[in-house]
Chain A
Amino acid sequence: MSAGTPRGFGGPETGRDVTRYMRVELHETEPSADGAPRVVGTAPAADHLRGPDGGVRAGALLAILDSVGGLCGGLAALPDAWVVSTNMSARTLTREHRGPFRVEAGVLRKGRTSVVTGIEIRDSGARDAIVVDGVLTSALLVPQAGPPRWERPMSLPVAPPLPEPVPPLPEWMGARPIDGNTMEMPLPDALRNPWGILHGGVVVSLADLAAEHVTRRTTTDVVLHFLAPNRVGPVRATATELGRRSDGVVSRVEVREHGAGRVTALAVVTSA
């Protein structure tokens, strides 16, 4: 899988607009017994992240998962490489969120070409109930200017609050329906990651919105494969309902980089 032109890894703040919007704070903690890095994040259950059912949107939760799991995978790839997400699978276990969320990521496996991280999001305001259980797989890649050289242990405090009123997630993304199955969004620089491509958390949020648009239900489970980078907007996600069962609707979502006319992600979404 190819990455886009690196936007730059000069500083840890580069490409952090998405985590700023999600208000994610990230800290590298004591490594595990085998020396692999671990990352703990916190994020509020902010109003601007909530969906029609009152809970934080699955897309926002998975964007947080992607940020924390991605950083953990990246730290595991250092000093030789950095990472780009290749797929994630995660399930939301509760839809009532008080917050703040505590996110823990650890390395499940590091190979020659990929890193697999396990991520758990818990609700500190609800007796640490598990909100999301997921896995993120990332490919090891070497940026043009070389891997980042950051002070360790890594710590990324939360950015200053965004000016009020903070737009809700679909509005912030610029996402809008263009037909009964498809959501479209532009690709502004603010939504790019350090590789210069659309942030993986935004891709999964767009898939979530497309499934919600088609099923009129709330996303509970996402499996998403990143197939190619989104460099040229607009980006479109088209959802197709596959079948129904007692716990919801299963949909297939295809994300296309409309500007380049290719499929960039494939997701299977369950909505309750």
Chain B
Amino acid sequence: MAATYPPDQHLLRDLRISFEHRTDTTSGARMPVVPALAAPDGSVRAGALATLVDVIGGGLAATVAHPSWIATADLTLHLYGAAVEGDVEADARVVHAGRTTVVIEVDLRAVPGASIGLATMSFAALPRRAGNPDVTTSTAPGPSTMALEGSSLRRPLLDELEVRVVDPARGELEAPVGEWSRNSLGAMQGGAVATLIDAAATTAVNVRASEPLVVTDLQITYLALSRSGPLRTRVDLLAADTEHAEARVEVVDGGASARRTALARIVASRSLRTGR
């Protein structure tokens, strides 16, 4: 791992997210909508939105859990609208902060536009270890960003993650755990894992669909850190018709004896873009 986190070339910098941390138990963030984040219908893909949710939710959870550290236990995302231009705004708030768990709720809004989705996350509070980042400076009240001058996505998000399709019908995709997508614990960032899940599901459901389907719901349970790589996905299609699909997605870490690191349920539907 690089000595400083995140390194100059990193997912969290290249998404160009700007933050507005507040003194209460809420936090805001904005992510520019760029073509590199697009799903098959041209709107921002669920995995990219999950990454925004993970970043803002994780920061807020780490702040309220301080001095304990946190581990993401699960992330859910329900979309009912699409972001196709401008920014996506995320507004996060703490709905529970206990001794062992923190629960965060995140509203997503297209700017300009309307509310497009609701996400929830829960975190396990863990004893702080040496090496856990000190978030009290990075989440101090006021505006901030991790982007550097020149930070940007130069290729589609899945290409940046080096995602490779092995078997589209089975949703078998593979991606390395590279420095660009690692979190502070050295594992693939939770939002990047969500993007891999989104990509696997999108690939599998669109093998059979008559028109492109996009992932609208993600329910991800994180079971272990994805540290080694390559990560591999497998999709079990549970229900599908021409305009709707439901599936279960499994992520295993090929470099860690194929240990299962995440399990997800997804819903894919016709585009949520208005007028389609």
- Name B's A-contacting residues (CB within 8 A): 73-74, 76, 78-81, 95-96, 98-101, 103, 105, 115-118, 120, 122, 124-125, 216-217, 219, 221, 223-224, 238-239, 243-244, 246, 248, 260, 263, 265, 267, 269-270, 272
Contact among B95, B238, B243 for A225, CB-based, below 8 A: B95
CB-nearest residue of chain A to B98: A1
Min C-beta distance of B12 to chain A, whole Å: 26
Min C-beta distance of B267 to chain A, whole Å: 7
Looking at A161-169, A173-181, A263-271, the stretch in contact with chain B turns out to be A263-271
Cβ-defined contact, A137 with B246, below 8 A: no
Q: Which residues of chain A (245-271) have a CB below 8 Å from chain B?
A: 245-247, 250, 252, 263, 266, 268, 270
Contact among A109, A225, A247, A270 for B120, CB-based, below 8 A: A225
Given known pairs A93-B238, A108-B263, A247-B267, the reply for A242 and B244 (CB within 8 Å) is: no
Given known pairs A228-B96, A242-B118, A268-B120, the reply for A93 and B217 (CB within 8 Å) is: no
Min C-beta distance of B153 to chain A, whole Å: 27
Count contacts on A: residues with CB < 8 A to the other chain: 38
Cβ-defined contact, A86 with B122, below 8 A: yes
Cβ-defined contact, A109 with B122, below 8 A: no
Min C-beta distance of B55 to chain A, whole Å: 20
Main secondary structure of the interface of A (DSSP, over half): strand
Cβ-defined contact, A133 with B115, below 8 A: no
Contacts of B76 in A (CB 8 A): 89, 223, 268
- Determine if A149 is an interface residue (Cβ-Cβ < 8 Å): no
Interchain CA distance A114-B124 in the complex, whole Å = 8
Contact among A135, A139, A266, A270 for B101, CB-based, below 8 A: A139
Interchain CA distance A130-B239 in the complex, whole Å = 9
Cβ-defined contact, A246 with B243, below 8 A: yes
Min C-beta distance of A133 to chain B, whole Å: 6
Contacts of A93 in B (CB 8 A): 238-239, 246
Contact among B78, B105, B223, B265 for A116, CB-based, below 8 A: B223
Interchain CA distance A89-B74 in the complex, whole Å = 10
CB-nearest residue of chain B to A113: B100
- Determine if A160 is an interface residue (Cβ-Cβ < 8 Å): no
Cβ-defined contact, A246 with B81, below 8 A: no
CB-nearest residue of chain B to A224: B120
Contacts of B269 in A (CB 8 A): 245-247
Given known pairs A2-B98, A86-B122, the reply for A270 and B238 (CB within 8 Å) is: no
